[in-house]
Amino acid sequence: TRLLEHLQNVVLKSIAVEKKTDGASAEDAAVGSDESVSSKEEYVWSETPEIGDMVWARKRSETRSGVSYSWHPVKLVDPKAEEPLTEDEEVDDRCEDDDEEWHKSGSEFIGKRVLMTIRDDASGSEYTETGRVFGWLPADVADFKSDQGEYVALWRVKFDDRHVTSQDLEEFEVKEAVAKYSRAQALKRSKESEYLSQTSMFGQKIKWVYGQYMNSREQVETFSISDILPYDAFRAKRMQELEALGSSKILAQVQKADDYLEERKAGETG
């Protein structure tokens, strides 16, 4: 009798475990199905997309309940052009009492762009600021002694932020500031080369793209290349997900994307 009761208990426990496992599997499958809409999909671009192409972009949004993701049709656009800073750009019209004393020629640093670390004495914090060498004073005119007790030349820097007071630098300081600006610009150009643009070349490693939403505001956002997918190849899957979710706003964007592609195709064949 005891043996029979023991066997019955073993069978009942086995059934309970099996049911629990089945339930967990079903729940995991449901979660996986929900997350498939937002999860990253492995896709390797065999060819670099081009400016003007339509793609699906994965947008990350933070809400009170956590982080959510959604797919949007976006048009790839060229990075926003920034006004180039030229060495011969005219200096600003701010005047200081002794500005006339400073020589505007006779030094290779005149007009050079600089990047300096500025210390805010009030808060004790530091920040970087860009500026330009406004003028200089030779050693026999500057009447300034270095830490070594020698009379040295000075270079005046005026900053782009008009609220930052100009600074007078020794030669080693102005050299360092000019070099620092050059390094920063080189780094910026290097990073910009990772963005898709009209000038992107075959074989160039693209990590980022600018995508324009197909809505009334047409705002532009930066996306990682790993967060975009070809539009046509994934349209059916995305549409199925959007219709299931009832995403009317994004569906309206899809319609605009389709219209754009039709117009583009007509323009190419016309």
Write out pLDDT tens, residues 25-65: 332 332 233 334 445 677 888 888 899 999 999 988 766 67
Q: Strand 228-230 vs strand 54-63: parallel, antiparallel, or unpaired?
A: antiparallel
Per-residue CA distances from 114 to 158, 213, 216, 251, 270 (Å) = 9, 37, 41, 49, 51
Residue with the bigger pLDDT between 115 and 85: it is 115
Please, what is the angle between helix 231-245 and helix 248-269, to 10°?
Answer: 160
**Cβ atoms of residues 148 and 189 within 8 Å:** no
* Percentage above 90 pLDDT, the chain: 43
Give the phi and the psi of residue 141 in degrees, each rounded to 5.
-110, -35
Please determine, for residue 92, whether its predicted confidence score (pLDDT) is greater than 70. Answer: no
Label residue 251 exposed, middle or buried (CB < 10 Å: 0-12, 13-18, 19+): middle
Give the confidence band of 87 by pLDDT, cuts at 50, 70, 90: very low
Distance between CA atoms of residues 259 and 264, nearest Å = 9
Per-residue CA distances from 47 to 3, 201, 209, 224 (Å) = 70, 11, 14, 16
Q: What is the pTM assigned to this prediction?
A: 0.49
Give the confidence band of 189 by pLDDT, cuts at 50, 70, 90: confident
Q: How does DSSP classify residue 108?
A: T
Distance between CA atoms of residues 243 and 236, nearest Å = 11
The two structure tokens encoding residue 78: 């060229």
Residue 30 is inside which H or E element, if any? helix 2-35
Contacts of 128 (CB under 8 A, 6+ apart): 115, 116, 117, 118
Amino acid at 43: Y
Distance between CA atoms of residues 135 and 172, nearest Å = 16
Largest CA distance in the chain: 115
Residue 190 CB coordination number (10 Å): 9
3-state class (DSSP) for residue 56? strand
Domains of the chain by start residue, with CATH: 49-79+195-270 (2.30.30), 99-192 (2.30.30)
